[in-house]
Structure formats: C-alpha cells, structure tokens
Amino acid sequence: MPTSFQRKLIRDFASLALSVLIISALAQAQSESGGDEGINFQGEVRYEDNTPAQFVPVELWTDGESSWRIVTKTDPFGKFHVGAPCMMVQYKVDTTGYRPVWGRVDMSTNPCRAHEWITLKATPETKARIAGTPASGVVDARIAAIPAEARTEFDSGQKAIADDDFSGAIPHLQKAISLYPRYAEAYQLLGVAQLQTQQGAQAETSLLKAIEIEDRMPQAQYLLGVLLAKTNRADKAEKPLQRFAELDPENPEAHFELAKVSFALSKFAEAEARARTAIKLKEPNPGVYIVLGYALLRQEKAADAKHAFRQYLRLDPDSLNAADIRNLVAQIDQRAHN
C-alpha cells in the first residue's frame, strides 16, 4: 500500500507526469529558419529515392579539450536539430542496411549555424528488400500487382512530401489508392500528409487501413500508436506500439513509447522495464529518465527514482521540466531524512 509520502508526491506532480508522458513525436519538424533558441545545427537525412530516413540515429561531436558529443535521432520526416558549440563539428550516420556517412562542418565563426543534407545509400541486400524481393527470391504478390499509373501517382505524392508540400501530396496518394485499393504504402504516406495538415481523424483511418492491408509496416504502426496515445487512448495505442517493437526491436523509440503508454495504463513494472530497455538501446531523449523515475516512484522505489531523476537533470539541466524535477528530488531527500 502506498505510503503518505508516495501519495503526496503523486498528487503534487500528477500534472507534470501526464504532460511529460504523453509526448507527440508527430510535430518534431522545425522551421528552416532555425529560429528556435539554441538550435543551430539542423540536418535532413534521406534515402537515395529522396524519401525521409525516419528515426535514424545521428551522432555529432567535437574534437579538442572542450569535447562535446551528442546522439540525436531523425523525426518522421528525416529531420534532426541540436544546439552545437561554435567549433568544428563532426557527424556520423550509421544505421543497419546502409553505408555509414561521415561529415565535418566548420561552425567556429558567427553566426555558428549549419544545415546539412545527408543521403543514405543502401547495401545490395537492402536494395533487394526495398524492391520487394525477399531473400527467398519470391516477389511479394501485392507489390508486384501495383499498376504503373498507381506507382506514378505514389511517386508524385512521395516527392511532394519530400518537398514539405503535404497538401499537394494528398490528391496524388488518394489517386494511387483509387487505382490500387491495396496500396498500403500509399495509405501510410497519406496518413503522414494528413497528420501534417491537421486532419487527425482522417490520418487515423488511413493508418488503420495501411496496417490492415500490410501488418509489417513499422512506421505506420508507430504513427498510429503515437496518434492514439496523444488523443488519450493509451489502451488502444498499446497494440500498434507493441507491433512496432516486434518489427523494429532495436529501435529505442518503440520501447520509450511503450513505457509511456504502460505508465498511463498503470502498468508501472512494465513501464520501468520498457524505459530501461530504451535506455540500453541509447534512446537520445532524456525524458525517458522521467518516465523511469515516475514508474519507480509508483512502485515505492524512491531511492531508485531519485537516481533516475538526477540522471535526467544531468543530461538536460536547462529544460522546462528541470525546476520541477529538482523540487521533486528535494522532496524525496527531505522525506528520506524524516
């Protein structure tokens, strides 16, 4: 049974927990102007066909005595953004199935800004998979049956999305679907375009249709799960996010999102386990330690929770949540000495 200490902490910080745990990953794209304070290194990672490289890790670092290093991740549109020091900055993108890409940018002079475009080139094995040819050499019948005209419309919609013209992409993708109703990939991209044009209900319908046709689409499962969680339907979000984790088990985002959903469903031990897995897989978002901390606190593990919160403060000391987390740590210490 929770002690009065746990009950008080849970009551005092309930609003903070909810605001942190229901995080949307659907609005991460930043403006090209780089107007956000502290964001001076922006980049876009795309595949050879110009489609966004989603959720790909990007490592950045500097050399010398005042060394700096960070690992971030691209958003659903292949973009990333960080605050970097005014120095020579190196970066690396290394993801399974693609050749590693290294680069170096001189940011040592004002205004200390950079914007890099990075193209990932697939290995031969990945090219075969993208083409729809499994290792056995048997062509996927559904993909093979896509009419040429539908492919043309899909390519036009895909190009529009690559150019951030989400409204312009929608008619092409709808046309592709009308020409080939089992075009799961078109439904997925249509869902992305609809999300970006504030059509949440329509996007949900499109994503559901995509995975009804083809269950093995990790991005569609992810986007649907986050959309459902964002609209306070954690119970329905759990299934697509679990499928996302099955399809892409090494992706820390899968376990981070499941940790948040598990917490919302009062599955605190599971939330703890998912958060720890995300951390082990190098989840770059420090918020994972907040999820871990609250999950531990709900299990009456105050000392472990304090350690998680302190780790968050070490990684992101200037965040908007930092003051509240420091106050929470202070309360844990105060109660421990009473």
Is this structure's pTM higher than 0.95?
no
CATH topology of domain 1-22+251-338: 1.25.40
Q: What is the pLDDT of residue 129?
A: 52
208/214 Cα distance (integer angstroms): 10
Query: Which string of b and e fits 255-268 if b means at least 16 CB within 10 Å?
Result: bbbbbbbbbbeebb
Strand partners, 88: 106
268-280 and 288-298 helices, crossing angle to 10°: 150
Q: What is the pLDDT of residue 11?
A: 40
User: Domain extents for the chain?
Assistant: 1-22+251-338, 41-121, 140-231
Reported as a single tens digit per residue, the pLDDT across 190-209 is 999 999 899 999 999 999 99
Q: What is the pLDDT of residue 65?
A: 60
Reported as a single tens digit per residue, the pLDDT across 240-279 is 999 999 988 888 888 999 999 999 999 999 999 999 999 9
Q: What is the pLDDT of residue 96?
A: 78
Sign of CA dihedral 221, 226, 227, 229: positive
Sheet holding 114-120, edge to edge: 79-82, 41-47, 114-120
Q: Where are the beta strands (DSSP E) in 194-279?
A: none
pLDDT < 50: residue spans in the chain: 1-37, 131-139
175/152 Cα distance (integer angstroms): 10
Q: What is the pLDDT of residue 317?
A: 87
Chain centre to alpha carbon of residue 14: 24
Given this chain, do its domains 1-22+251-338 and 140-231 carry the same CATH topology?
A: yes
Q: What is the pLDDT of residue 212?
A: 94
DSSP one-letter code for 138: P
Domain 140-231 maps to which CATH number in 1.25.40.10, 3.50.50.60, 3.40.50.300, 1.10.3720.10?
Answer: 1.25.40.10
Domain 41-121 maps to which CATH number in 3.40.50.620, 2.60.40.1120, 1.20.120.450, 2.40.30.10?
Answer: 2.60.40.1120
Q: What is the pLDDT of residue 31?
A: 33
